[in-house]
């Protein structure tokens, strides 16, 4: 993507009277880090980037914004929020529209066709992070890593993030402004992660998840980063009644993780943020992709594709399969 074009467009968008700010990506504080940027003027727009390191899904900020009570007489700020999205991120925006979590008039969606993102852990393992800012660019067949002035060409296969290997929608499905030409889609890889768990028997699966959930420290970063976990009153925070105890043990951790997986069934758009941010390395993507696969195979439904769709969990068809009912 042409960065000049991106920054120019962003500057135009934030100059609009009906736009409050723009959420995009900027260089982080060191190494390969990229940070969310909240841009209000042309100066800020000049910091924006779009690179193979922009893996995070910024659409979570649309619902994360705090609506505090206003002082008497003060009108709420109803200006739009502009947001940069990749293909996967755009599905979150669409799903939020389906659920009426946001209003179409409230957002300016800036689409960024995405050739695929880098897995940070793989990158840092092979090419250790240094204290200076590094840059990564797309090349015809992979990535160019520029670290401390040293350039290394890396194949796409070596560093591509798992969610991008599995991706079927690299181009934004909804946008007001599209930056650049659509990228060519690729054959999604087989989901080896889900298959690895799937081929275990029921006891094996239970043992697998028991081990994983036992590592959970209940920091709730998966919930908070998730663009579709936006309940104002989350079951996990409730104290009266306490649906999920504060104790951190296998039982409560499982209650939490399974509750989240169920609440996301037919809603998760597979952006992989939960797994990326988990400090306990729990392969949450496997859980959520398994649910997504079930919904797709059984009900032919995929969330985040059509803003006019009925929400999956709130819709019923007489011929819905019900073979799971004992």
Partner 1 sequence: MSAMLLNKEKWPDFVGKLTGKQLWAPQIKDEQLRFAPVAEGEEPALDYKNTRVPPKNVVFPQTETLFRFQVDGEEVDEPKLDEEVVLLGVRPCDARSMVIVDKLFSWDYDDPYYARRRELVTMVGLACSEPGLNCFCPSVGGGPASTEGLDLLMVDLGENYLLEAITEKGEALINETKELLEETRDANLEQKEKVINEAAQKIKRSIDPEGIPVGLPGLWEDSLWQRVSASCLGCGTCTFLCPTCHCFDIQDETEGFESRRCRTWDSCMFEEYTLHTSGHNPRPSRLERTRNRINHKYNYYVDKFDVIACVGCGRCINLCPVNIDIVEILKQVKEAL
Residues that bind partner 1 (CB under 8 A): 28-31, 33-36, 38, 56, 60-61, 64, 66, 68, 129-131, 211-212, 215, 217-221, 223-225, 237, 239, 242, 245-249, 273, 276-277, 279-281
Block residue for tokens 């929608």: 169
Q: Please report how close the Cβ of residue 212 comes to partner 1 at its closest, in angstroms.
A: 7
Q: Please report how close the Cβ of residue 209 comes to partner 1 at its closest, in angstroms.
A: 12
Q: Please report how close the Cβ of residue 74 comes to partner 1 at its closest, in angstroms.
A: 15
Identity of the residue, 241 or 318, whose beta carbon is nearer to partner 1 in the bound complex: 241
Q: Please report how close the Cβ of residue 42 comes to partner 1 at its closest, in angstroms.
A: 17
Identity of the residue, 155 or 242, whose beta carbon is nearer to partner 1 in the bound complex: 242
Q: Please report how close the Cβ of residue 259 comes to partner 1 at its closest, in angstroms.
A: 17
Q: Taking each helix axis from N to C terminus, what angle separates 250-263 and 284-299, rounded to the nearest 10 degrees?
A: 40
Q: Please report how close the Cβ of residue 103 comes to partner 1 at its closest, in angstroms.
A: 22
Identity of the residue, 163 or 276, whose beta carbon is nearer to partner 1 in the bound complex: 276
Identity of the residue, 51 or 212, whose beta carbon is nearer to partner 1 in the bound complex: 212
Identity of the residue, 206 or 315, whose beta carbon is nearer to partner 1 in the bound complex: 206
Identity of the residue, 250 or 299, whose beta carbon is nearer to partner 1 in the bound complex: 250
Identity of the residue, 247 or 326, whose beta carbon is nearer to partner 1 in the bound complex: 247
Q: Please report how close the Cβ of residue 242 comes to partner 1 at its closest, in angstroms.
A: 7
Q: Is the dihedral of CA 284, 52, 94, 97 positive or negative?
A: positive
């Amino acid at each position: 993507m042409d960065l000049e074009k991106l920054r120019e467009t962003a500057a135009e968008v934030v100059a609009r009277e009906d736009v409050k700010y723009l959420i995009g990506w900027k260089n982080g504080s060191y190494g390969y880090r990229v940070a969310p940027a909240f841009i209000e003027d042309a100066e800020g727009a000049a910091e924006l980037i779009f690179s193979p390191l922009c893996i995070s899904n910024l659409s979570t900020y649309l619902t994360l914004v705090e609506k505090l009570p206003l002082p008497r007489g003060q009108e709420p700020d109803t200006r739009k929020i502009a947001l940069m999205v990749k293909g996967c991120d755009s599905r979150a925006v669409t799903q939020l529209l389906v659920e009426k979590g946001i209003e179409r008039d409230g957002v300016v969606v800036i689409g960024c066709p995405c050739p695929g993102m880098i897995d940070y852990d793989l990158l840092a393992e092979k090419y250790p992070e240094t204290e200076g800012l590094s840059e990564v660019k797309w090349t015809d067949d992979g990535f160019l890593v520029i670290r401390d002035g040293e350039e290394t060409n890396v194949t796409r296969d070596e560093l591509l993030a798992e969610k991008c290997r599995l991706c079927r929608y690299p181009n934004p499905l909804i946008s007001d402004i599209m930056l650049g030409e659509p990228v060519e889609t690729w054959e999604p890889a087989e989901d080896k992660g889900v298959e690895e768990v799937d081929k275990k028997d029921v006891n094996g699966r239970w043992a697998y998840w028991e081990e994983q959930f036992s590592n959970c420290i209940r920091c709730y970063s998966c919930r908070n980063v998730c663009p579709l976990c936006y309940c104002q009153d989350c079951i996990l925070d409730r104290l009266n009644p306490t649906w999920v105890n504060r104790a951190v043990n296998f039982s409560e951790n499982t209650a939490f993780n399974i509750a989240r997986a169920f609440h996301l069934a037919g809603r998760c758009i597979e952006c992989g943020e939960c797994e990326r941010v988990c400090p306990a390395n729990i392969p949450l993507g496997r859980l959520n992709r398994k649910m997504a696969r079930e919904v797709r195979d059984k009900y032919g439904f995929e969330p985040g594709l059509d803003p006019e769709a009925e929400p999956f969990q709130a819709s019923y068809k007489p011929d819905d399969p019900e073979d799971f009912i004992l």
